[in-house]
Amino acid sequence: MVEVKDKYNIWGGRFKNQTDEIMENLNASIFFDYKLAKFDIEGSKAHTKMLAKQQILKEEEAKSILDGLDTILSEIETGNFEPKVSLEDIHMNIEARLAELIGPVAGKLHTARSRNDQVATDFRLWLRDRIDAIVDLIYELEVALVMKSSENIHTIMPGFTHLQCAQPITFAHHLLAYVSMLDRDRERYMDTRKRLNESPLGAAALAGTSFPIDPDFTARELSFSRAMMNSLDGVSSRDFALEFLSSTAICATHLSRLSEEIVIWTTSQFDFVKLSDKFTTGSSIMPQKRNPDAAELIRAKTGRVNGALITLLTVIKGLPLAYSKDLQEDKEPVFDAAETIEIVLKVMTGMIHDLKANVETMKKSSELGFSTATDLADFLVREYNLPFREAHKIVGELVLLAEEKSCTLKDLTLEDLKGGYNDLGIEALNTLSVEGSVQSRNSKGGTSPESVKRQIQYWRETLKCA
């Protein structure tokens, strides 16, 4: 960032003295809104073309402005643009550079426009671009999860409630739950994009303009679906950014749950999965350690994303219409959340892609905790037409007995079974295998390999992935 003494006079004739340096530092947004540069130029070009079409600018004036803006764009792209703090923000920096390049005609660019509608436009363009990237990244993660599921249709693991072993499930089934969540996340972003995709350009400072502008033209030039209906709303609404942050907070929260599970699964106590070296770190003191830092960081990054949402909600809360400088504080939380969600989605995709299930350990664990007790109760209901509540009680007593004998339900004797319910025969024990248990849960959305295959098929078609 370059400091200049000979300032480009941004406020025109109204001011005699320069702003205090400390005020300049508080006031300037160039430290972070430089990110908008490319979109600021895009917006300015659309505005210039509109002004020319409406004969507010002469053709040669418009041409000179457009050429100048293209020059600045290439300076930005090649890293040759040097923003100045004293010029406050990206908009003033670009305008000042334009004046250097093409002279006083540069001042005509700002006809029928204010930084208020300009920044709202830039921010929407920037965010639309990031949403498109994020939607693709979620898609990649969904595909990675569907692929990992196809490898694990028959991998049996314990399903948990209260993090206590509940019923055996297939690993594919577990992973596919996240595909459902992520697909809704992706939809939420696409939905956010729809509402965001309106052009505020033409709202000017707050009240519109007396020039005969054509906001629908600029909207079309910038691929917005339409120009905004109300100029006050155009310059002061940030619900598009709030929606983006909400979608991001929800998505990050989903990723934090998966991360937490990966952290649990990789402990030596669980040992359900192995992460690749690419997504694991060691310890500087304990040579045996393989830490799931990637999953831990994704879990933790959710904190800053959720924080960003609260930050912006708090900035907007109680803010009177129309523009106030408070709105400059909308950008950093959004930039940070976007950057964060992008990197965590990429890392999660890599981690899932490389992850290996420890099939034997998972299966052994699924046999613990009397995980198939419900299957025995269901058997009593089916076979002897007992009310489920009664069957539940009988099996509960058998579990207690097994616990007392320190054995599994499978190890109970015929006598034990008959003690629970007189008609029970030894064949009842067949219902206790974890394979049989998962196979039997073939209801829609259930855990059986058949059901999981149907789910995978659905996602392959929906996501159009092989």
Interacting residues toward ligand ARG by CB under 6 A: 29, 33, 89, 115-116, 119, 323, 325, 327-328
Task: Give Cα 391 distance to the centre of its chain.
Answer: 45
Cβ at position 340, least distance to ligand ARG in Å: 21
Give me the long-range contacts of 56-59 (CB less than 8 A, separation at least 24): 56/111, 56/112, 56/211, 56/212, 56/213, 57/108, 57/111
> Could you tell me the smallest distance in angstroms from the CB atom of residue 323 to ligand ARG?
5
Task: Report in angstroms the alpha-carbon separations of 417 from 43, 395, 434, 437.
Answer: 78, 9, 19, 19
Asked if residue 279 lies in contact with residue 350, where contact means CB atoms within 8 angstroms, the answer is: yes
- CB-wise, 61 or 89, nearer to ligand ARG? 89
Report in angstroms how near the CB of residue 283 gets to ligand ARG at its nearest: 44
Q: In the complex with ligand ARG, which residue's Cβ is closer, 200 or 292? A: 200
- Distance separating alpha carbons of residues 295 and 280, to the nearest angstrom: 9
* Closer by beta carbon to ligand ARG, 31 or else 458: 31
Q: First CA to last CA across the chain, in angstroms?
A: 48
What are the b/e assignments for 156-179, b being 16+ CB within 10 Å?
Answer: bbbbbeeeebebbbbbbbbbbbbb
The answer to whether 162 is a known catalytic residue is yes
Distance CA 224, CA 238 (A): 16
**223, 276, 283, 324: the active-site residue:** 283
Per DSSP, 279 falls in state G
For residues 238 and 330, is the Cβ–Cβ distance under 8 A?
Answer: yes
Q: How far is the CB of 115 from ligand ARG (least distance, A)?
A: 4
Q: Which helix (H) or strand (E) holds 198?
A: strand 198-199
Which of the following is catalytic: 162, 284, 406, 443? 162
Question: At its nearest, how many Å lie between ligand ARG and the CB of residue 39?
Answer: 13
Nearer to ligand ARG, 259 or 328 (CB): 328
Residue with smaller CB distance to ligand ARG, 139 or 323: 323
Give me the helix-helix angle, 293-316 and 331-354, nearest 10°.
160
Residue 29's nearest CA partner among 302, 236, 335 is: 335
Least separation in angstroms between CB 325 and ligand ARG: 6
- List the one residue out of 345, 367, 365, 362 whose CA is nearest residue 178: 345
Q: Is beta strand 226-227 parallel, antiparallel or unpaired with respect to 198-199? A: parallel
Determine whether 365 is an active site residue. Answer: no
Instruction: State the minimum distance, in angstroms, from the CB of residue 124 to ligand ARG.
Output: 13
Q: Give least dist CB 306 to ligand ARG, A.
A: 23
Nearer to ligand ARG, 85 or 380 (CB): 85
Token pair for residue 44?
Answer: 């300015």
Contact present, 447 and 177 (Cβ < 8 Å): no
Residue among 114 and 358 whose Cβ is closer to ligand ARG = 114
Helix or strand holding residue 12 (H, E): none
Per residue in 352-380, is it b (16+ CB within 10 Å) or e — as a string?
A: bbbbebbeeebbebbbebbbbbbbbbbbb
Name the residue type at position 282.
Answer: G
Q: With respect to ligand ARG, which residue has the nearer C-beta, 33 or 261?
A: 33
Which residues are known to be catalytic? Answer: 162, 283
